[in-house]
Structure 1
Amino acid sequence: MSDTQKVPSTPESSSSPDSSSTPEWEQRFRAPRVSLPDWAEDAPDRSLFVSNATGTYELYAWDRASGRQRQVTDRPNGTTDGVLTPDGSAIWWFSDSDGDEFGVWMRQPFDGPQGQDEPAAPGLEASYPAGLAIGRDGTAVIGRSTDEEGTTIHVVRPSAAPVEIYRHRESAGVGDLSHDGTMIALEHTEHGDAMHSALRVVRPDGSTLAELDDTEGGTKELGLTVLGFAPAAGDTRLLVGHQRRGRWEPMIWDPVAGTETDLPIDLPGDVGAEWYPDGSALLIEHSFEARSELWRYEPGAKEPFRVETPAGTVSGATARPDGTVEYLWSSAALPPVVRSTTGAVVLDPPGPKAPASVPVEDAWVEGPGGRVHALVQRPAGGDGPFPTVFEIHGGPTWHDSDAFASGPAAWVDHGFAVIRVNYRGSTGYGRAWTDALKHRVGLIELEDIAAVRDWAVKSGLADPARLVLAGGSWGGYLTLLGLGTQPDAWALGLAAVPVADYVTAYHDEMEALKAMDRTLLGGTPEEVPERFEASSPLTYVDAVRAPVYISAGVNDPRCPIRQVENYVDRLKARGAVHEVYRYDAGHGSLVVEERIKQVRLELDFALRHLGEG
């Protein structure tokens, strides 16, 4: 393999607009990108990755030995969910309808050709996915979620009918399948707390081998997650993540021996891990204060040692059989690249590179629940105060980091400062920070955003007359809620795929999100109506004064369109200034030109109502 591998160019990619005639913000979206390549456990030269080389994000197969790459999927609204079989002979990919996330797994030979697909699990009807694990003998463990059945998990053997081994109304999912196929690790929330999973290891017939439950039946807010079985025959160890010391960190659980092995990895922030391919060490992914880094830990050692990466964010990493590590890296200023610890660039997409942006600055602001971390980007060469966009992340259990993002960079190009707030509910700052938003959902996050807003104005960074509240998904929800509960604070709102009417959203959304909402609010809309009312943007719609722009996918299962229309109807009834853009996709779009169109509409709306500044 050469130091740099090229993703094949396509007629579609070569027809993109001439970069010399388009603004830099559009060039960032159109620049070809690749994901971190996945690889087959028993055939490591066979890899699978996602690229937007055609203008739509699709799956690509890569034979590293020959250098051959080919496009696996080709669908109007894109495809990103795919898995290689352990022997590398086939690719499983999830087929939904126009982004609705409801579908079936399909299978295609690794060598193709494209279009030679067949149902991977005949007999299983369409569902929302709830995990997938594929064994070396061809057996698959498939998790499914539907509104009618809740979660079901099935064992599917070659040329045999699927066998259901698990069913529950609460959310659950497939964690992993052991190397020899005799153990299946499940994550479940049978105790009713969708934010904190318990673990169960079962045999292929569904009988229970072992349980691990740090919630003690839901009485404690401590979660567990499956990180993976040891990658060696006869090794019964399972790597799991736990929160026993107030943050995510790994330990080793042997469900056969009944032992738990704590790991002396003393790093602040959240710590994840995966096995090296020979099982001799762990690759540690450490996230702290919006940056991340990699470490190697050998069980039994006193401490891990650093795997050198540049300052910024590692969005994914994997250890290769030769001991090298490949990782996807970026910073707010520099676009993403798949690197190796050899110093090589692993994959280099063809075509123009994304223009750089400006770096982030850290701001720490005292809020009502403790110090709030915000990331600030300001236009180069300006002194302020600037028109300022508060770009609020989704989740809510997610966080903004020092990573490249074309959306915020577009605002900076147009003279706006951009502030991203890791409010209570965000990950990466400890379990207490993540869990703090319960029962006063939305209102707690907005208190933290308000504290950062006040700091931004007082410091001279932000123009108080030109403050924009914006975000997508949960960030879109907080935008609409903030416009109604803080009407004097914001000059403009931009909400993408938002929760707008919480009660209707609950009844229409996918089952796993219903479980999350019951956890966040303490029950259903019928059980705790006052909490849903207090947290719903629709409750405050008549107080909204700022112009509002809303975009929504008509096939969205997470923030369904009916509840958005309810909110829009209320805006119309009172003659409020607003615009709505509906598009034929789900919870966002995988089509590059569609995404550019959405950002262009947002920029146009903001500049018309705020002026050029």
Structure 2
Amino acid sequence: MARNFRVYYPALPLVAEHAPHRAAFVGDADGRCQVFVWDREVGSARQVTDRAAGTVRAAIDPGGTTVWWFDDDLTGVGSWRVCDIDHPEHSTEALPGLAPARHAGLAMAADGTAVIGLSDTGGMTLFRRTATGRVDRISRVSGYAHLVDVDPAGQLLVVGTDAASPTAVTVLTGDGTPVAVLPGSATGRVWPLGFAPGTGPARLLLVVEENGEYALATWTRAGGLARHEWRFDTEITASWYPDGTRVLVRQDRHAGSHLYCVDLSAGTRTEVPTPAGSILDAAAWPDGDVAYVWTDSTTPPQIRSVAGVELPTAPDDGPGDEAVSLAQYCRRTQVWVPGPAGPIHALVAAPADRTGPLPAVFLVHGGPFQHARDAYDPLVEVLVRTGCAVVRVNYRGSSGYGAAWRNDFRAGVGLTQLEDLAAVRSHLCERGVIVEHRVALWGSSWGGYLTLLALGVQPDLWRLGVAINPVADYAAAFAAATPAIRALDTMLFDGTPQEVPQRYADSSPTSYIDRVRAPVFIAVATDDVRCPPAPVERYAEALSRRRVPVKLLRTRAGHEDFDARGHVSLMQAVLLFMQRHFDGVRDEGTPVALAMARPTD
């Protein structure tokens, strides 16, 4: 059996403000993410990039004449390139003469002037590039920061940092002079989102955390920060409608999503009709239509339009002959489990043709502030077809359940989350849903970190672990990570490894390595700067010396791999490891499992 596998980048096309029939988007090209341009009037899409590692960062100027894309290496260091939309095969450096750096934001004024943020180990530098190609340095910001937006007139810029810091939001003039600083706090975070389109005084849209809820706010130079009346009990993000008076709000709530149109002038909030499931991206386009990326547990992501407008696809996109509805062979349930800090929400999928206690794989989401969604995940499909139940837990720290849940790390970083995983496991075992001695963990990034931590802290609970690009030693990873990751770690632990060393040690899998007994599959990426591979390799070597069954796979990639072949090869290797060490997987397999597990030629 042969299957074609595609990659999908869950982001809407970027539409040119003054030429809404033109857009740039990231699509699949022979199993890799590449940049395409789309012209609605012509009715076709053309490929712009053809890089071996794929390309996922792109932009289009307001006039719809120039496409931007970020030419980075596997570590995320690179430079912006530009090309004429009608001649994408010819590109030039957007900022000639500058050393490669990390992307830290790109925004454009109405006349096509671009402001670019580039970061290095010491901070972020802002540059301006005019429509004629002249490049000027604007200013330098120390420490972690990112450019959020520039107002339509090009007169004001907004920079964001840690949403809980005293400098959460900084507004600058076009020459880099600070105009306003909007502080955040541990219980009052502030997120800048973007300036309103149109003419007139600049208005900045923000989300603020207040009394455990989330609210919209706007800032103007004359009036300062103004909070609006609407409150949301779980996390939101928002963007402007083209008229500059309405706001499109996307709320993540209890593993699903909702869209709302908030009219700031009329004082109304109206829900935008969308199917049940998850919305991964949404925007009000220049013609007023609302487009969104939608998915649910049985449907791969789709770009939809409220008005039903035909939307772009890559030349080879579309459902393949292998497409089968997951609903035909999968039972899905959602459970709320009593936990140490309140009810824990979990999503459970199981083979439709099997009853009684099943072997189970807990898919541990990353983040830490992400969440398991009512969304299609091909890994769930593969594991269900092997005969396993798949459990996805929205432990404390997950978004979609309110500020108190998201910010709860009371038992320690990682250790708090393990309490919730254990509670859900116990609940499902007691009710005969899963087999107690056949429960595995599988996670990527922060989910991989939790997997390794659980195998040492809770060795009696887990039969096997799969950790993809994990953290094994938090202090060592901190030393080698990017400024953005260091800022996240400092926030999580309330200090650096030098300031609070015991907290980092208590939350590191290496501290519990002598207690690990379960077989472990570990994959590391050679160019991963978010979860550096060296400490993880040392962890795997230490397990091997202790005669713990361990498989270490090294991949030539960064933290995220945008090549479908890499994902398929990884799944093949993991399934073979599970067939050897996890006695819950069907030995005979199924057509999909066999196809996935068969070594490549």
TM-score by length of structure 1 reads 0.90
Aligned to 2:207: 241
Distance change (3 Å), C-alpha of 1:153 and 1:321: closer
Bigger Cα displacement from structure 2, 29-38 vs 370-379 = 29-38
Question: Which of 344, 369, 390 matches 1:372?
Answer: 344
Structure 1 residues 462-483: Cα deviation after superposition (integer angstroms, max 9, x where no partner): 1111101110000000000010
Check if 1:211 corresponds to 2:181: yes
Q: Secondary structure of 2:432's match?
A: coil
- 1:438–1:111 CA distance, 2 compared to 1 (3 A): farther
Residue number in structure 1 paired with 2:54: 78
Q: In structure 2, do the counterparts of structure 1 residues 347 and 414 end up closer, same or farther at CA, with 3 Å as the change threshold?
A: farther
* 1:264 and 2:242 matched: no
Other structure's SS at 1:369 match: coil
Amino acid in the other structure paired with 1:37: P
Q: Which moved more, 1:390-399 or 1:242-251?
A: 242-251
Aligned residue in 2 for 1:535: 507
Q: Please state whether the residue corresponding to 1:152 is helix, strand or coil.
A: strand
- Superposed counterparts of 1:119-268, under 5 Å: 119-147=93-121, 149-157=122-130, 158-169=132-143, 171-189=144-162, 198-215=168-185, 220-254=186-220, 256-268=221-233
Query: What's the secondary structure of 2:379's corresponding residue?
Result: helix
* Shift in CA distance, 424/366, structure 1 to aligned 2, threshold 3 Å: same
- Report if aligned partners of 2:214, 2:233 keep a CA contact under 8 Å in 1: no
Structure 1 stretches of 5 or more lacking a match?
Answer: 1-20
Distance change >3 Å, CA 267–CA 528, structure 1 → 2: closer
- From 326, 330, 352, the equivalent of 2:320 is 352
Deviation at 1:606, TM superposition (A): 1.2
The question of whether the paired residues in 2 share the 8 Å contact of 1:439 and 1:522 is answered with no
Map of 1:110 onto structure 2: 85
Partners of 1:472 and 1:84 in 2: how far apart? 32
Does residue 95 (structure 1) correspond to residue 71 (structure 2)? The answer is yes
Paired residue for 2:546?
Answer: 574
Tell me the distance in 2 between the aligned counterparts of 1:443 and 1:82: 38
Corresponding residue number in structure 1 for 2:268: 303
Q: Does the 8 A contact of 1:222 with 1:243 survive in 2?
A: yes
Relative to 1, partners in 2 of residues 1:438 and 1:117: Cα closer, same or farther, differing over 3 Å? farther
Deviations 1:474-502 (CA, angstroms, capped at 9, x unpaired): 00000000101111110000000000121
Please tell me whether the aligned partners of residues 472 and 536 of structure 2 are also in contact (alpha carbons under 8 angstroms). yes
The letter of the residue matching 2:208 is H
1:63 alignment partner in structure 2: 39
Percent identity of equivalent pairs: 38
Distance across 1 between alignment mates of 2:441 and 2:523: 14
Query: 2:363–2:391: 8 Å Cα contact kept in structure 1?
Result: yes
Could you tell me how far apart the structure 1 residues matched to 2:232 and 2:209 are? 14
SS of the equivalent of 2:229 reads coil
1:284-363 matches, within 5 Å, as 284-344=249-309, 346-347=311-312, 349-350=317-318, 352=320, 354-357=323-326, 358=330, 360-363=332-335
Distance in 2, Cα, partners of 1:173 & 1:35: 19
The unaligned stretches of length 5 or more in structure 2 are 587-601
Distance change (3 Å), C-alpha of 1:352 and 1:141: same
Question: What is the match of residue 9 of structure 1?
Answer: none
CA contact (8 A) 1:123 1:161 kept: no
**2:150 alignment partner AA:** L
**8 Å CA contact retained: 1:35, 1:51:** no
Kindly provide the amino acid, as one letter, of the partner of residue 176 in structure 2: G
> Which whole-Å deviations, capped at 9, do the CAs of 1:249-284 have from their partners, x for residues lacking one?
322221x12244433334432232211112131112
Residue of structure 2 equivalent to 1:50: 26
Cα RMSD over matched residues? 2.0
Compute the displacement of 1:197 (Å). 6.2
Question: How far apart are residue 299 of structure 1 and its match?
Answer: 1.4
**What is the aligned residue count?**
577
Aligned equivalents of 1:388 and 1:81: distance in 2?
A: 37
Give the SS at the match of 2:476: helix
> Higher relative contact order by CA 8 Å / sep ≥ 6: 1 or 2?
1
**8 Å contact 1:337–1:345 — kept in the other structure?**
no
* Mapped pair 1:494 → 2:435: no
Specify which of 552, 565, 584 is matched with residue 593 of structure 1: 565
2:343 partner SS: strand
SS at match of 1:424: coil
Deviates more, 1:233-242 or 1:541-550: 233-242
State the Cα distance separating 1:303 from its structure 2 match. 3.1
Per mean C-alpha deviation after superposition, the further-off stretch among 33-42 and 88-97 is: 33-42
Displacement after TM superposition at 1:451 (Å):
0.7
Distance (whole Å) between structure 1 residues aligned to residue 292 and residue 127 of structure 2:
33
Letter in 1 for 2:571: V
Question: Aligned ranges for residues 400-419 of structure 1 at < 5 Å?
Answer: 400-419=372-391
TM-score (normalizing by structure 2): 0.92
What amino acid is the match of 2:17?
Answer: E
Q: Is the 8 A contact 2:465 2:520 kept in 1?
A: yes
Moved more, 178-187 or 355-364: 355-364
**Cα distance change on mapping 1:261 and 1:164 into 2, 3 Å:** closer
Shift of 1:40: 1.2
